[in-house]
Structure 1
Amino acid sequence: MTGPGSTAPRQFAVTTRAYMAVDDATGEPIGLDDVDTRVGWLLDLIAAAGAELVSRLWQPATFDVLAAGLDRQDRRLPAQGHVAAARLGWTPLYPDGVYVPSRVTRVVTAQVMATLRTLSYRDTAIAALSARFDPATGVVAPPTEPGDSVPAGFVRGVRRQLIARARRDGGVPAGRLRITEVQGPPQTSAMARLSAADRQLAQITSTERELVLTVKLPTSPTPAGRAQWSRVRLTAAIPEHLDGRPVTDWHLPSLVLDRRGLLWRCAATELAPAADLTAGRVAVGVDWSPTSLGAAATAAQGAEGLSSDYRGWTYDDRGLGIKLARLQAEGQLLHAKAARLTRLAAAAPPEVRAQLEAKIAVLDAHRTAVGVKRGKINRELAFHFSRQVTEYATAAGAQVIAVEDLTTLETRGHGRVNNNRAAQSARRQAVAALAHTAAGAGITVVSVPARGSSALCPGCDEPLSRPGGYHDAWCPRCRVGGNRDHMAGVNLAKRALLGRNKATRRRGQMPAVRVAEHAPVRRCRDKNGPTPSRPRHRRVRRSLPTVPQRMGVNPKHHVPAPQASVWDTVKSRPPRGGAGSRDTRTFQASAILVADSMRST
C-alpha cells in the first residue's frame, strides 16, 4: 500500500565492534584478544573447507547443473545456498580428527554456492565468446542472437584471456571453452556469514543501545569433539546515528578480522517512507562527470509537457579527486616496481633473491596501505556525494533520481591515463550510497540509458555544438545551453519521467528504464529547482581613505583554508560504545577504554 505517510521496510548495512565478551555457560569475562584468536580459528576452518569444496567442484558439470537450476530429481533448486548444496550432495571435507558442527558446514556451503552461482553467468558468457573468437586475428565476432550480448568491458577482458591461451597453444583454434579452462578456481575469503545458520550456532538480540551476539566458537585450532566448541556472548554498541530510526529487526552479522580485531557487518530492517515511482512528476538527473564525481539537473512534467530551467548543480569533492588520482598513480608505480623485482628475482642468485624478496614484501605492504586509503576515501566520497544529491532533490521537490546505467557506460577518448582514472572512480559505490540515502527521504533512484545524454539536446534531440570547448554545450535551434553535464542531467531526468511506467524491477537491484524515449523539454523560468548558492560580496565603505601599500613588501593575507576533506564537515559527537558505520565515521573513546580493560583480563 502506497500513499502519503505510508512506509515500507528496507534493509541497510552497519558495522560495529564488540567491547565486552563473556562465556555464555559460566558468565566469566573473556579477553577480546582471546575472542579474536578463537574467531580466527573459526575463519580458518571455513576458508580451508570452502577452498577445498570450490576446487573439487571446479568443473564444467557444476556450472551445467547451476545453469539448469535442477537437482537430480529434476526439482527446482531452492534459493538458499546451503539447501541447494545439500540436495546436490555438495558437502565440504575437513581434516581427519577435526569436528565441525553441521551449522558451520551450512555457512561454508552457502558462501561457496553464492560464489559459484555468480560465476555461472561468466561461464555462459565465456562459452559464447570463445565460440566466436578467431585466434588468428584475435577478434571476437559480433553476436548473432540477442541473448549473447554482454558488456563491452567484459568482452575485452575475456578476449585478453583467449588471446593468452591461443598464444600458449600456438594459435590452434580451441573452439567452445568453459570458465574452468580459461581461469583457475577463485579464492575464498575468510568470512563467516552467520545468516546461513540458525540458533544452534548463533543468535542476536538487541536493546535500545546494545547488540548481544551469542555464537559458538572453537576452543582450539583443531577441535576434536563437541566439548571443544563453546558459546561466547559478545556485546557491541549500536552506532549513534541510528538513534531515533525505526529499526524493526536486526539480522545475524558476518564476522571478519581486520587489523583492529573482530568486525561485525550487520544488516537491519527499518521502516522508510514508501516511494511510488509512477507518481513522480519532478526528477533529478545525475550525470557522471570526468572532472568531478557528478552533476545534477532537474526536469518537471506538467500539463504543458516537460520543462526545465537548465540550471544544474555540480558536486564539489573538495580536492579528494586529485588525492585519489595521486594515490592511484602511486599504487600503479609500486605494482610496476614489484613486478620488475619479481622478474629479476627469478634469475638471481640465492643471496640476491632473498634481498629482492624482502624489498618486494615492503612494496606489497605499501601497495596494500595505499589501497586501504583509497577505499576509505572512496567510501566517504560516495556517502558525502549521496547526501548532497539527496538534499538537492529534496529541495527541488523531486520524487525520482535518475542515474546513468553503469553497465553501458564506458570512458574512452580521453587518453589512457584519464580513461583509467575515470574507470576506477567509485561510481558504483556512489550509486549504492545514493540509493540508500535517497530511500530514507522517500525518493526512488532509477537507472536510465546513458547513450547520447551529453551529446543530444533535451528539446529537439539533435546533436549539441561545443562553442566554448568540451564542457560547453549549445543548441542553436532551441537556443538553450550551458554546462554539458547539466544538459546531460536534464536528458537523464527526462528519460526517467517518460519511462517510469515501463521500468523493470529485479530482486536486489534498483528499477531500470531500458528504452530512452524523447519528448521536447521547454525552457521554463518557473521556480522548479533549488536556488544555487552564490558568494556574497562584503560591503565596503567607500568614504574611508585607503591605506597605501608599502613598496617592495609582499603583505601576507591570512585567509582561512577551504575544507579539503569531507571529514571536516563531520561534527564530533559524544562517544558511546565501540561502534562505527558505513554512514559516518565516529571515534568511540569509551569503547576503546573498555576494550583495553577487557584485553587485560
Structure 2
Amino acid sequence: MVAAARLGWTPRYPDGVYAPSRVTRVVTAQAVATLRTLTYRDTAIASLSARFDSETGRLSAPSGAAEYVPSGFARGVRRQLLARTRQIDGADSGAAQSARVRITDVQTPPRTSAMARLSAADRQLAHITVTDAAMTLTVTLPTTVAPTGRAQWRRVRLAAAIPRHLHGRPIREWHLPTLDVDHRGLLLRCAATEAVPAADVTSGTTVVGVDWSPSTLGVAAVATETPDGLVSDYRGFTYDDRGLGIKLARLQAEGQLLHRKAARLRRLAATAPPEVRAQLEAKIAVLDGYREAVGAKRGMINRELAFHFGRQLTDLAAAAGASVIAVEDLTTLETRGHGRVNNNRAAQSARRKAVDALTHTAAGVGVTVVSVPARGSSALCPGCNEPLIRPGGYHRAWCARCKVGGHRDHVAGVNLAKRALLGRGQSVRKRGENPRIRVIEHAPVRQCRDKKSPTPSRPRHRRVRRSAPAATPRVGVNQTRIVPAPQASVWDTVKPATPQRVTGSREVHTSLTPATPVVGSMRSM
C-alpha cells in the first residue's frame, strides 16, 4: 500500500463523493494484490514468448532458473501464442514476433467479483464480536449512494449465524471477513485460527497412502513399520463419490459445449452486418450467463466432494492409527497419453481442493498430510521394486516374484505409504505448504495377513429367490406357438406328424392332439 501511494496508484472517486482514508486503504490493498498477480503473469508471458518458435509451435528449454514457470501455465500460454500467430497475417508475422509480447496481447482483462476485503482495515473501520452461535460485524458504511461528507458514513452492525459444524471448536481468533455480493445477497467469508494438536512426521509408524485414480477421486492403502520391516495387507480403500464425479463430468462437458458455441458465434459476429451482429451478441451474452452458472455449480460440487473425501480419509487414518497421510505430489502428476477427454477430465478434477480439504480435516485429529513423488508408484512392485505385469488388463497388477498384487491403485497406495515411511526424516516444509518428500527410497514391503487396517464397509443386499420366470402369453390375434422339431435319427421310421395347430387364428383343424410347448426353450422378448 505504501508503494502504491508513492507511485500514485490511489483510487479516484467521482466529483463530490467523499470516502474515508481507511476505505481507500482497503481498495488499494485489493487492487495491489491483483496487480501483483498480473505483473508475474506479464513477466512469464514475455519470457515464454522469447522462447517460442512460431514455425514449429514449440517452446525451447529455459536457460536458467529465473525463466522457470509451472508446466500448466506454460502450456496455456503456448496455446495462446499459437492462436495469436494464426490471427496475424503472413506479411506482418515476422515484425509481430520480433516485438515483445505482453499480457495484453494474448489475454483479456481480468474480471473480479463484487467484494471488499476487510483484512487491511483497522478497528475504527471494522471489527467483529463472536459469541457461541452468532457473529456481529460492525463496519462503517455510507448511508447514501454518493456520500458528500463524513456525516453520511455511519457504523452498521451485521449479524451472521455461525455454521453448526463450528460450534464447540477450539477457535482462538476470528479474522475480519471478505464481503462478497452474489445473487442471493451479502456473503461473509471469514477465516479463523484454530488450535490443533501438533503432529510429528518423523514419529509415526503407520502411514495411509492415497493414490489419485482416474476412475474415482482417490484410493488409499495402509503400510506399517514393524521391527521385522514394512508390512501391508494390500487391501485398499476405494472412495465412493456417490455419483458426484459423474455429475462433474456432465457439467464440464456442458460448459465446454457452451464455450464452443459462444466462440463460433463470436467468429460469425466479426464479419456479420450490424443488425445481425446485435442478435449474435445477445445470444453470446445468454451463453456466457449459462456458462457462468455451470461454473458456479461445479464449484459447489467440487467443494462438497473435497470435504466428503477429506472426512472419509481422515476416519480411515484414525481407525488405522496412522499419524501421516501420503498423497501424490500434484506438481509431478502429468496426465498424458490417455486421450484428450480423459486428460482434460483429470486436469479439471477437484484434486487440489481435495488436498486442501484433507489437510484441514486431518489437522483436527493430529494427522499430517505429506506429498511424495508420484512417478512409478503404480508400475513398480512394493516388495522387489521391479516392474509389475498386467495379467488381467490395465487395472490389475501382479508380481510373480513376490506373489503379491491386486488392483493397480491399491498397489500404488502401498508404494506411496512406503515412500513416506522411508523418507520421513528428509521432509521439506515451506511456509503455507504441506511437508514434501522429494527422495524415493526402497525397502521390501511384506504382505501381512494380520488385520492392519479397518474393514471397509460393504452394502448388504437382500437374498432373493432366483427362479425361472413364468412364460407370459403374448397378446395378439395371429400368434404362432413355435415348438422345436424332434431330433432326427437314422432308425426313425415314424412318419412326420400333422401340421401344428395355430393358436389364436380363425382356421379350424381336425387334429385332436395339440403340440406340447417347451417352456425352457422360450425367450422373453
Q: Please indicate the TM-score interval, normalised by the length of the shorter structure.
A: 0.7 to 0.9
| Distance change >3 Å, CA 461–CA 128, structure 1 → 2 | farther
Counterpart amino acid of 2:119? S
1:108 aligns with 2:15: no
Partner of 1:208: helix, strand, or coil? Answer: coil
Structure 2 spans left out of the alignment, 5+ residues: 475-525
* More moved, 438-447 vs 184-193: 184-193
Matched with 2:62 is 143
| Distance change >3 Å, CA 339–CA 128, structure 1 → 2 | closer
Matched with 2:249 is 325
Matched with 2:186 is 262
Matched with 1:397 is 321
1:417 aligns with 2:361: no
1:551 aligns with 2:493: no
Using the alignment, how far apart are the partners of 2:276 and 2:108 within structure 1?
Answer: 31
1:310 aligns with 2:229: no
Partner of 2:196: helix, strand, or coil? Answer: strand
1:227 aligns with 2:146: no
8 A Cα contact 2:213 2:219, kept in partner: yes
8 A Cα contact 1:284 1:489, kept in partner: yes
Question: What TM-score, normalized by structure 1, do the two folds share?
Answer: 0.73
Query: Where in structure 2 are the equivalents of 1:150-299 lying within 5 Å?
Result: 150-167=69-86, 168=88, 169-172=92-95, 173-174=97-98, 179=103, 182-183=106-107, 186-299=110-223
| Distance change >3 Å, CA 290–CA 186, structure 1 → 2 | same
% identical aligned pairs: 74
8 A Cα contact 2:325 2:367, kept in partner: yes
8 A Cα contact 2:113 2:180, kept in partner: no
> Larger Cα Rg: Structure 1 or Structure 2?
2
Using the alignment, how far apart are the partners of 1:537 and 1:99 within structure 2?
Answer: 70
Partner of 1:337: helix, strand, or coil? Answer: helix
8 A Cα contact 1:128 1:176, kept in partner: no
8 A Cα contact 2:206 2:225, kept in partner: yes
8 A Cα contact 2:181 2:187, kept in partner: yes
Matched with 1:457 is 381
Matched with 1:520 is 444
| Distance change >3 Å, CA 364–CA 117, structure 1 → 2 | closer
Q: CA deviation at 1:312?
A: 0.5
Matched with 1:24 is none
Using the alignment, how far apart are the partners of 1:437 and 1:486 within structure 2?
Answer: 23
| Distance change >3 Å, CA 223–CA 537, structure 1 → 2 | closer
Partner of 1:368: helix, strand, or coil? Answer: helix
| Distance change >3 Å, CA 226–CA 269, structure 1 → 2 | same
Partner of 1:252: helix, strand, or coil? Answer: coil
String of CA shifts for 1:225-252, please: whole Å, max 9, x gaps.
Answer: 2122111111111111112111221111
8 A Cα contact 1:251 1:267, kept in partner: yes
Partner of 1:330: helix, strand, or coil? Answer: helix
Matched with 1:511 is 435
Counterpart amino acid of 2:415? N
Counterpart amino acid of 1:438? A
* More moved, 175-184 vs 92-101: 175-184
Using the alignment, how far apart are the partners of 2:157 and 2:48 within structure 1?
Answer: 51
Q: CA deviation at 1:86?
A: 4.3
8 A Cα contact 1:136 1:171, kept in partner: no
String of CA shifts for 1:426-467, please: whole Å, max 9, x gaps.
Answer: 111111111111111110011111111122222222222211
Matched with 1:26 is none
Aligned partner (choices 99, 109, 114) of residue 18 of structure 2: 99
Matched with 2:50 is 131
Matched with 1:59 is none
Using the alignment, how far apart are the partners of 1:183 and 1:337 within structure 2?
Answer: 20
Partner of 1:289: helix, strand, or coil? Answer: coil
Matched with 1:370 is 294
1:492 aligns with 2:411: no
Query: Where in structure 2 are the equivalents of 1:438-449 lying within 5 Å?
Result: 438-449=362-373
8 A Cα contact 1:308 1:523, kept in partner: yes
* More moved, 193-202 vs 449-458: 449-458
8 A Cα contact 1:151 1:408, kept in partner: no
Aligned residues: CA RMSD? 2.5
Q: CA deviation at 1:418?
A: 1.4
Partner of 1:491: helix, strand, or coil? Answer: helix
Matched with 1:7 is none
Counterpart amino acid of 1:255? L
Counterpart amino acid of 2:384? C
* More moved, 130-139 vs 279-288: 130-139
| Distance change >3 Å, CA 553–CA 467, structure 1 → 2 | farther
8 A Cα contact 1:295 1:312, kept in partner: yes
| Distance change >3 Å, CA 315–CA 520, structure 1 → 2 | same
Partner of 1:205: helix, strand, or coil? Answer: strand
Using the alignment, how far apart are the partners of 2:418 and 2:66 within structure 1?
Answer: 28
String of CA shifts for 1:115-140, please: whole Å, max 9, x gaps.
Answer: 33334544454344333322332221
Partner of 1:306: helix, strand, or coil? Answer: strand
Structure 1 spans left out of the alignment, 5+ residues: 1-81, 555-601
Q: CA deviation at 1:341?
A: 2.4
Aligned length: 469
Q: CA deviation at 1:361?
A: 2.9
Using the alignment, how far apart are the partners of 1:416 and 1:487 within structure 2?
Answer: 26
| Distance change >3 Å, CA 535–CA 500, structure 1 → 2 | same
Query: Where in structure 2 are the equivalents of 1:562-601 lying within 5 Å?
Result: none
Q: CA deviation at 1:548?
A: 7.6
* More moved, 220-229 vs 162-171: 162-171
1:341 aligns with 2:265: yes
| Distance change >3 Å, CA 83–CA 507, structure 1 → 2 | farther
